[in-house]
Chains A and B, each alone.
Chain A
Amino acid sequence: MTDLPTSGRTPDDEPAAASTSTATSTPSSAPTSTPTSTPTATPPSAHDASRDRTSGASGGRRFSRRRKAADDDVALGEVILEVTDLKKHFPMHTSGIIRRAADPVKAVDGISFSVRKGETLGLVGESGCGKSTAGRTLLQLLQPTSGSIRYKGKDVTNADPKELRKLRNEMQMVFQDPYGSLNPRQTVGTIIAAPFHIQGIKPEGGIKAEVQRLMERVGLNPEHYNRFPHEFSGGQRQRIGIARAVALRPKVIVCDEPVSALDVSIQAQVVNLLEDLQDEFELTYVFVAHDLAVIRHISDRVAVMYLGKIMELATRDELYENPLHPYTQALLSAVPIPDPRRENKRERILLKGDLPSPINPPSGCVFHTRCPRYREDLSEAERTRCTTEVPVIQGEEDHRVACHFAGPPKVDVI
């Protein structure tokens, strides 16, 4: 599956993998594209959208509206995306003949943050902490359970299909798995051209020329236009996914582990490409990864997630040099440093046990079952606070922590 319906959402109980594709829609300010159609009223399917393209009646009106949207643009450094108490719970059912509702999976459980135009917000945490779900809910590929998402100051949480489709112009996604997210039976040219077809956009000079320009821009040989995904290496496939994501000149890209499957040397190529594209197109990234070194490199600010909640959110260097949450400290301390002499001197903060289930998360602070501070440093009364009272994330704008006993670690963590 490659082409996502332009305004549908993944049903709640569909496996997450089902939405491994780029969300695509009309651009609001793609300078090279000439609008030829009115995709606004089309039903939510790629097929219908492309049919509509051929009717192309009132392109002029769309164009003027699009210009207006561009005028509304937020300036670099201003908040472009704001998320408040966002939750995504997946309903679960008992197995058996009669399916009854069971406790839901609290994949994302009340997260709040804002993203500024042109910056990269890193989302990091262990497998299953809800990073991908957060990214998908942000793009409304998944319907939020509650909470709000504001884009350019406007509440878009319950956007109607028309608004949603416009939103999808401006927000795209790049996925971890270049294999799974590219249709093996389509040529690279067709894959990268898909957003234009779905949205009924005909770029100046034609789609093929534009696609080849994009291929060149992301470091692919434009002559390979007719090749199939399997003829490319992992890094090249990731470039294909990136070309497809930037085709319509989006404003925000959620990158879900875009370099996790790549070798370091290839990973560096793709990271640099993403950085260059960000500068060139003033892109805003929400960058999901579990690799703390990659996150430190690429992010301006970083949010650390655990069991669907944000434990700590700070500017990049603050987070790495002055982590205040016991979970962040343990996470950083667990990363081996490629420097044997320092590595031999380091004292690890080891977490015991496994991640608890997001269906039945621990009471109070969700981290208390594994928290070294809880285990080693607190009095009985203090512990009771951890097990009964949910810590609210608080602090300065550039450094917020959700821990009743936030403070520096006992040992250097990096």
Chain B
Amino acid sequence: MSTWASADPVSSGALLAVRDLKVTFPTEDGLVKAVDGLTFDLRAGETLGIVGESGSGKSVTSQAIMGLHRGSRAKVEGQIVFDGRDLLKIVDDDLRRMRGRDIAMIFQDPLSALHPYYTVGNQIVEAYRIHNDVSKAAARAHVIDMLDRVGIPNPQKRIDQYPHEFSGGMRQRAMIAMALVNSPRLIIADEPTTALDVTVQAQILNLLVDLQKEFGSSIIIITHDLGVVAELADNIMVMYGGKAVEGSSADEIFYEAEHPYTWGLLQSMPRIDAVKQARLQPIAGNPPSLINPPSGCAFHPRCAFRDDERLGCSSVVPRFEISDEHPTRCLIPQAERRAIFQTQIETRTA
């Protein structure tokens, strides 16, 4: 990777180019700035991992890309350029046509995608026939094949069952089958395995990787589990309080992390591969308000490296330079950040 994101989203060559995305919600308490100026590129066949604590804006970002805020009170600004077209500008009909065919989504809770009153098969057949002019019988055969591919045993029989007749892991697989039935070019997976056991998670992640290879899809994987992004992601964006605080290749994020929040994440996490279990080092304090975010660097109230006098952490807003290879929203000079990571950050690697 050379730069985090190219200057021009349309000619960038990326499948998805998000520029300065902002999503705000008017509420009784004030305007919630849920996503506040996100920029990233996602190339064909690549996987971007988005990590960050609860409430940092990960799901709102994915909803914005899917166009799910349309018709709501949310205000969405910026550019979401998919294959050269700005999704924020196209008409509803076009968006609907692209949804499911070009861009598909996998949620944490499969029941939010599967209707309880229709058989699993009917729903996936419908999803397929909306975008493909084929007979019911042909669609059904295709769906049985798809269910088989996602590892649902006995698909000829299972296709006529209802979601409640499936186990949690099987429902998740059914939803993946539905998401992939049209071989979409972009798959957005929002905590796809968070509710599942590790053994089932391993099956599902394996499946995603295999299907990605087969279809050449790009994936955005949203998770709070750094292990999951380590396994899947080519690039990682770390979010805090609606903003990207750091973005780079997966290796850079894990082995040369530059943002104090990322350091905090790496240090607070217990590790299964740690031979010595040292005391965890939590990030002090609580998530920031999105209505009245902290001044200066939004992370400064919780930052162990804050320096108001020298750097102005509580007053100067740090920038996220998208022309950098590894942009980091922090006022500490880069050389110094690198030195801190090398000498002071114990990432608990075995």
Residues in chain B near residue A336, CB distance under 8 A: 201-202, 205, 225, 227-228, 230-231
Closest Cβ of chain B: how far from A342's Cβ, in Å?
7
Residues in chain B near residue A278, CB distance under 8 A: none
Beta-carbon contacts under 8 Å, B141-182 to A: 153, 167-170
Question: Given A351-B203, A354-B170 in contact, is the A265-B273 Cβ separation under 8 Å?
Answer: no
In the complex, residue of chain B having the shortest beta-carbon distance to the beta carbon of A320: B272
Cβ–Cβ contact B199 & A351, under 8 A: yes
Residues in chain B near residue A272, CB distance under 8 A: 279-280, 282
Interface residues of chain A: helix, strand, loop or mixed (majority): helix
- B269 at interface by CB-CB < 8 Å: yes
Beta-carbon contacts under 8 Å, B42-65 to A: 53-54
Closest Cβ of chain B: how far from A237's Cβ, in Å?
12
Contacting B272 at CB < 8 Å: which of A266, A268, A330, A414?
A414
Cβ–Cβ contact A268 & B269, under 8 A: yes
Question: Given A271-B270, A337-B230, A337-B271 in contact, is the A264-B265 Cβ separation under 8 Å?
Answer: yes
Q: How many B residues are at the interface, by size bracket?
A: 35 or more
Cβ–Cβ contact A127 & B197, under 8 A: yes
- B254 at interface by CB-CB < 8 Å: yes
Q: Report the Cα distance A343→B270, complex, angstroms.
A: 16
- A102 at interface by CB-CB < 8 Å: no
Cβ–Cβ contact B224 & A263, under 8 A: yes
Q: Report the Cα distance A334→B228, complex, angstroms.
A: 11
- How does the 8 Å CB contact mask read for B288-318 relative to A, with 1 for contact and 0 for none? 0000000000000000000000000000000
- A292 at interface by CB-CB < 8 Å: yes
Cβ–Cβ contact B270 & A294, under 8 A: yes
Query: Which among B200, B228, B251 has the highest number of chain A CB atoms within 10 Å?
Result: B200
Cβ–Cβ contact B197 & A265, under 8 A: no
Cβ–Cβ contact B269 & A264, under 8 A: yes
Cβ–Cβ contact A343 & B279, under 8 A: no
Residues in chain B near residue A338, CB distance under 8 A: 226-227, 229-230, 254, 266, 269, 271
Cβ–Cβ contact A292 & B201, under 8 A: no
Cβ–Cβ contact A267 & B199, under 8 A: no
Cβ–Cβ contact B197 & A340, under 8 A: no
- How does the 8 Å CB contact mask read for B222-257 relative to A, with 1 for contact and 0 for none? 001111111100000000000000000011001100
Cβ–Cβ contact B202 & A414, under 8 A: no
Cβ–Cβ contact B268 & A268, under 8 A: yes
Q: Report the Cα distance A342→B231, complex, angstroms.
A: 9
Closest Cβ of chain B: how far from A263's Cβ, in Å?
4
Contacting A340 at CB < 8 Å: which of B168, B250, B274?
B250
Cβ–Cβ contact B206 & A126, under 8 A: no
- B132 at interface by CB-CB < 8 Å: no
Contacting A290 at CB < 8 Å: which of B197, B203, B251?
B197
In the complex, residue of chain A having the shortest beta-carbon distance to the beta carbon of B225: A336
In the complex, residue of chain A having the shortest beta-carbon distance to the beta carbon of B250: A340
- A296 at interface by CB-CB < 8 Å: yes
Q: Report the Cα distance A7→B242, complex, angstroms.
A: 48
Question: Given A290-B198, A351-B203, A354-B170 in contact, is the A414-B280 Cβ separation under 8 Å?
Answer: no
Contacting A265 at CB < 8 Å: which of B201, B229, B250, B264?
B264
Q: Report the Cα distance A267→B271, complex, angstroms.
A: 13
- A39 at interface by CB-CB < 8 Å: no
Question: Given A233-B286, A296-B270 in contact, is the A275-B199 Cβ separation under 8 Å?
Answer: no
Residues in chain B near residue A290, CB distance under 8 A: 197-198
Beta-carbon contacts under 8 Å, A225-250 to B: 233-236
- A159 at interface by CB-CB < 8 Å: no
Cβ–Cβ contact B199 & A331, under 8 A: yes
- B281 at interface by CB-CB < 8 Å: yes
Cβ–Cβ contact B280 & A297, under 8 A: yes
Q: Report the Cα distance A234→B55, complex, angstroms.
A: 12
Question: Given A265-B268, A269-B282, A293-B270 in contact, is the A339-B201 Cβ separation under 8 Å?
Answer: no
Residues in chain A near residue B250, CB distance under 8 A: 340
In order of increasing CB-CB distance, the 5 nearest A-B pairs are A336-B227, A268-B282, A297-B270, A265-B283, A268-B268
Chain B residues engaging chain A, CB cutoff 8 angstroms: 53-54, 153, 167-170, 197-203, 205-206, 224-231, 250-251, 254-255, 264-266, 268-275, 277, 279-283, 286-287, 349
A-B contact pairs, 29 of them (CB 8 A): A264-B224, A264-B265, A264-B268, A264-B269, A265-B265, A265-B268, A265-B283, A268-B280, A268-B283, A271-B270, A292-B272, A293-B269, A297-B274, A321-B275, A330-B199, A334-B199, A334-B201, A335-B227, A336-B227, A337-B227, A337-B271, A337-B273, A341-B251, A341-B255, A342-B273, A343-B230, A348-B202, A350-B202, A353-B153
